[in-house]
């Protein structure tokens, strides 16, 4: 089995310690509660930058599709 590579950007783009990272992500997802519904949402565009800069924006997108089922997911 191939081993996972080390997290090269830990401590730069996101917290180095897994527990701190998990808490930060959980807080962003809780803060980014959507008060609006998009029942037919098929696409989100989430930013890719340091979590301190773009994490909350990404969390809004991920919350908008939370619980939905998709047969295909494309990540660019």
Q: Which two tokens stand for residue 69?
A: 């089922």
Strand partners for 10: 14
Per residue in 6-32, pLDDT (tens digit) is: 888 899 999 999 999 999 999 999 999
List the domain boundaries for the chain: 18-65
Q: Say how far apart CA 28 and CA 2 lie, in whole Å.
A: 32
Query: Is 70 in a helix, a strand, or coil?
Result: coil
Going by pLDDT thresholds of 50, 70 and 90, the confidence category of residue 60 is very high
Rounded to the nearest angstrom, the gap between the alpha carbon of residue 8 and the centroid of all alpha carbons in its chain is 18
């Amino acid at each position: 089995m191939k081993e996972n590579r080390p997290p090269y950007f830990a401590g730069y783009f996101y917290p180095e310690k897994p527990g701190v990272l998990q808490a930060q992500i959980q807080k962003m997802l809780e803060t980014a509660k959507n008060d609006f519904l998009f029942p037919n949402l098929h696409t989100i565009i989430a930013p890719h930058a340091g979590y301190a800069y773009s994490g909350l924006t990404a969390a809004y997108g991920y919350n908008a599709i939370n619980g939905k089922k998709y047969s295909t997911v494309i990540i660019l």
